[in-house]
Amino acid sequence: MSRAPAPDPELLPAEIEVGERLRELGLDTALDLDAMAALSNVFRAANAARSQLERSVLTVHDLSFTAFTVLWVLWVWGEHEFRDVAANSGITKGTLTGVLSTLERRQLVERRRHDEDRRRLYVALTRRGTSLMSKLFVTFNRGESAIAAGLDPGERHELARLLRKLQRSVEGVDQSGPGNG
């Protein structure tokens, strides 16, 4: 007789319940459970970490995660073209226009027209924005450090490596699937 195997003690409670339910539905063999486990944990971990950083670091400065990302990009890369800032921040140009308006009102960033091609725009931190980020960058990283504290250095490297591999894999999906295999 085949009994249900004891669930992996590493699994989160929600995952154990999902596994039992899918077995009841007879779907546990029809699905790619490894992919489901990997992806669902990517989403859960990202939500948890993001919420934690918003609460512990960003809310006191009245910054959204996206607004902070834009400031982060400008601080690390320095003055950059509008389109590059949007791309590096992972947002569309329409969203960036709105975010910049908010940040410019608070005098944290400034826009500057390209001298030769007057369609183009440069974006940079103001002195005030630079000053804020000099402190906030470190504070934010301390938050990241606290979150990652449960993983030893080797595990952090491995986690980052696997996530990079996943990102490279996502890039190739449009060509090869799903539904085309």
Q: Which is nearer to DNA, 33 or 106 (CB)?
A: 106
Does residue 133 touch DNA according to CB under 7 A?
no
Q: Which does 130 bind (CB under 5 to 8 A by kind): its own copies, DNA, none?
A: none
Does residue 9 touch its own copies according to CB under 8 A?
no
Q: Which is nearer to its own copies, 5 or 153 (CB)?
A: 153
In the block, residue with structure tokens 């699994």: 11
Q: Considering only residues 98-157, where is the footprint of its own copies by CB under 8 A? A: 137-139, 141-151, 153, 155-157
Q: How far is CA 179 from CA 146, 154, 170, 172, 176, in A?
A: 41, 36, 15, 14, 9
Q: Which does 131 bind (CB under 5 to 8 A by kind): its own copies, DNA, none?
A: none
Distance between CA 41 and CA 33 in Å, rounded?
Answer: 12
Query: In DSSP terms, which residues pair with 81 in a beta bridge?
Result: 122
Instruction: Give the contact letters, 97-126, x = binds to DNA (CB under 7 A), - = no.
Output: xxxxxx--------x----xxxxxx-----
Q: Which does 107 bind (CB under 5 to 8 A by kind): its own copies, DNA, none?
A: none
Q: Considering only residues 55-74, where is the footprint of DNA by CB under 7 A? A: 59, 64-67
Which pair of structure tokens corresponds to residue 134? 């000099």
Does residue 159 touch its own copies according to CB under 8 A?
yes
In our burial notation (b when 16+ CB lie closer than 10 A, e otherwise), range 49-62 reads eeeebeeebbeeee
Q: Which is nearer to its own copies, 84 or 98 (CB)?
A: 84
Binding site for DNA (CB under 7 A): 51, 59, 64-67, 81-83, 90-102, 111, 116-121
